[in-house]
Every structure is written in structure tokens, then in C-alpha cells.
Structure 1
Amino acid sequence: MKQADYRQVEKSITRLIRTNRQTMVIVIENDASVTVRAPKRVPKKEILDFVKSKKNWIVEKQREAALKVRQARAKKFVEGEMFMYLGKQYPLIITEETNYALKFSKGNFILHTKCQPTAYQIFINWYKKIAYKYLSQRIEYYSGISGIKYKNIKINSAQSRWGSCGLKGTINFTWRLLLASPNIIDYVVVHELAHMKELNHSPKFWSIVKSIYPDFLSARKWLADNGHILNI
């Protein structure tokens, strides 16, 4: 492969993660970005050759991911439209008879009429606020029963990751998690908490996850199959 081709392939990789794993794997994330996981000592040229050999597969999977994202984001923020919250769908009511830009009450999302033009950002702000409260409670619970310590949590708008570990014990979660059912949220919380002890995805890491959340496999599969719907 020519040098120019290598540069082109390298540009197509969003994230290259080297761990103690034995094989290389390509993951097409929900936002169609490309993550490559590879052993620490594999030469970069070998990684790029591997990615190049999977070009057609990558393109097809990116098309599928992009379609799912477009379908999931087709919200118009109109009366009666359904929005997810903790794994269930709830209707949107638009009214002038509210003192809030957006609130959730008695199984309905209630949006002030004047806020309809900026409803997308208002919803995200609401999800972030509630996600911080909810996830703080869940991680505190699992930290207590596992004995694994963390410093604090932050809520972001990540599209390709459900959670991540920052420096000095900070754990980041995307607000999109609040759309998932409680059992899925708990799995992600435990997953990130386990990274406080094991930064990789080694057998030891999964053993920690299983010891805290035994049903992690079904939750992990659900996210892989349905994570694209957790958006607005």
C-alpha cells in the first residue's frame, strides 16, 4: 500500500485503542465513527493494513449506523410526540399553562409554547440535569456494595460512548443513558465503576463487572443492538 493510502486509512480511524488483547477488532460506533482496538505491540502498519482489508465492511456498517441515527433524531417536538425516559415512552404536551420551560409530570413531558423553537436544547438540558441526580444515586449505591471508590461524575453529550473514566477518579456519562431502562443504566454504571480497578477489558475486568452485576451480558447485548434509539 502506498504512503498516501496509509495516510488516508489512518484518517478514517477515529480512535485507536491499544490494550493487552490478543487480536485486532474494528467497532463502528453509533455515530458511525470507527474505533480500532489492537494489541499494544502490533506495528501501526499492520493495523492500517487490517483496516484497509475491511474497507467495504466498514463503509456498509457506517451507512447502517448513519441511517439509524437519522431515524432516531427525527423529532419535531410537536403535541403528542413520544419521548423516552428510563426505558419508557411518554407523550409531549405543549401549553402556555406552565411556569417551566419543560417539566415531567404525571406521565407527560410538558413544554411551554414559547420554548418550542428551542425544544431540542431544552430537552437535552433537562435530561442532563435529571441524569446527574439519577446517576449520582446509582453509582453511590454500587460503590457502596462493591467497595470501589470514585471521585465524582460528570454528564456530557457523548454520542459514541455511554461512559468513560477521566483523570483522578472522575467518571463521565452521556445524558442519553437516561433514555434507557434502569437495568441498562445500572450495567453502564457498574462497567465504568469497574474501570476504576481495571482500565482495560481483560477477563479480570469482566470478572469484576459480573461480581457486581451478574446479568451484564444481556444488558451489554441490548445496548449493542438498540443503543441507536437512545437519542432525540
Structure 2
Amino acid sequence: MGQITLAGNPLIAVQLRRSARARRLSLRVSRLDGRVTLTLPNAVPEAEGVAFLRAKEAWLRGQLADVSGPVMVGPGARLPVEGVPHEIRTGPGRTVRQEAGVLFVPGPEEQAAARLKGWLRTRARDRLSEASDRYAARLGRGYNRLTLRDTRSRWGSCTHDGGLMYSWRLILGHPQVLDYVAAHEVAHLAHMNHSAAFWQQVEALYGDWRAPRKWLKEHGTELHRYRFD
């Protein structure tokens, strides 16, 4: 992967990526960190890619202006839980308490992020276990284990031996998005591919999956803005 710099104010660093699978030029701006990637099919000269980039400069600068920076989780910050923004405040007690758009976190402020992360992971496991159990029962197939990770490349996966993996950050998004991902991965217990039969199975389990899938594509990276370390 190479890099070029687009002149202007400010300068824009653009990562160049070659792809044997790409059929056309494409320009992508990461909603997480503002990284710009220009993908070129192998047969397209770099000069053509640069010309394409310059033609898209106004659009590109507009996209970069809209990119939000990271959010450090702690008292005073706002954090979504199941799609609803919550203000983080310190509070009494021994566990995190959720009340009408506020998360009260006990203990020293410097430990708030770690406490919230643990609370969110527990909540995510509960919701994802319930959804996976429900869809697996509907499918008539069981799964062997459920694990949570903090992955950026995928929201879930299913292994050949029936293991389900999910990103715990799904708990930050809308409940229907979490439900869709659970249905998607459970459907892989029957179809370890993305064939027409697989998507028919997802629809049979979940219903119309297009809206939550579109939301993840357009807004999913926003869930990685929240930093807990």
C-alpha cells in the first residue's frame, strides 16, 4: 500500500490500495479516525487514481469535516446504551446505575471507564445470549459457545464447530441492530456462506434485515469512537 498527499489546506494523506477484486475506483473515509483510502483495480494506472481523487476533492473535504473525534469515556461524557445517549456521572453504591438518560458510576473517577466497560460487556452478553438462544431455537440448531471481543473488522462470526463470537460494542447500538447480528450469525449454523439460501434463512429468523445491515455499514464505526482506556 502506498500513500499520496493531496495539496490544499489542510493537506490530506491518502492511502493507496491495489485490489485484484475491485472493478472500479473507490474512495473511503473512515468515520472512526478520518483515514482516507483510495482503492484501485490492478489494471488502473496510479495517475488515473490521482485524477479521480482530485475530481472528488470537494466531496472528500466535506466528509473529513464531518468526522468526529474519539470520545474518552468518563464523568461528563455522553455514551449510548442500546441506542439511547446517556450522560456519565459519578454516583454512590457499588454498581453502575442507569436512570433516565444518566449512568451513575460509583468509585473514583479514574476507574469509571473500566467499570462502565465491565457493565456494558455483562449487558451485551445477556442480550446476545438471549437473542442467540431465541434464534437458535427457531432454527432448530444449537451452538456450542458464545464469546465477546472488541473487534473492528467484524460484528460477529460463526465457526464450523458452532461457536458464536460477537463484538460487545453492539450493546451501544440500537437493539434491532444487535438482534439482526445475532440472527445473522445463528443463520450461519445452517449455511456457512452468504448464499441466497443463507439470506433467506436470515429473513426467516429475523424478518427484513436490510435496514439494520445498512445502519451498521453507515454508522457502525461510530461505536468505536468511545475509548475506555
What residue in structure 2 maps to residue 94 of structure 1?
90
Alignment partners' CA distance in 1, 2:201 and 2:174: 22
Indicate which of 100, 110, 125 corresponds to 2:104: 110
Report % sequence identity. Answer: 22
Does the aligned pair in 2 maintain the 1:164–1:172 contact within 8 Å?
Answer: yes
Which letter maps to 1:77?
Answer: G
Which letter maps to 1:168?
Answer: D
Alignment partners' CA distance in 2, 1:167 and 1:25: 35
What residue in structure 1 maps to residue 181 of structure 2?
188
Structure 2 unpaired stretches of 5+: 4-14, 54-58
**TM-score, normalisation: structure 2:** 0.69
**TM-score, normalisation: structure 1:** 0.69
What residue in structure 1 maps to residue 123 of structure 2?
130
Alignment partners' CA distance in 1, 2:123 and 2:97: 10
Equivalent residue runs for 1:1-232 within 5 Å: 48-49=42-43, 68=67, 71=69, 73-75=70-72, 77-79=74-76, 81-95=77-91, 97-100=92-95, 103-107=96-100, 108-114=102-108, 116-231=109-224, 232=226
- CA gap 1:199/1:218 in 2 versus in 1, 3 angstroms: same
Which one has a larger percent helix, Structure 1 or Structure 2?
Answer: 1
Alignment partners' CA distance in 2, 1:183 and 1:140: 16
- CA gap 1:205/1:155 in 2 versus in 1, 3 angstroms: same
Deviating above 4 A after TM superposition, structure 1's stretches of 4 or more consecutive aligned residues are 23-34, 46-57
Shift of 1:78: 2.4
Q: Equivalent residue of 2:85, what SS?
A: strand
Structure 1 unpaired stretches of 5+: 1-6, 37-45
- CA gap 1:145/1:77 in 2 versus in 1, 3 angstroms: same
Shift of 1:167: 4.8
Alignment partners' CA distance in 2, 1:172 and 1:33: 29
- RMSD after superposition: 3.8
Alignment partners' CA distance in 2, 1:51 and 1:192: 39
Aligned residues: 203
Which one has a larger percent strand, Structure 1 or Structure 2?
Answer: 2
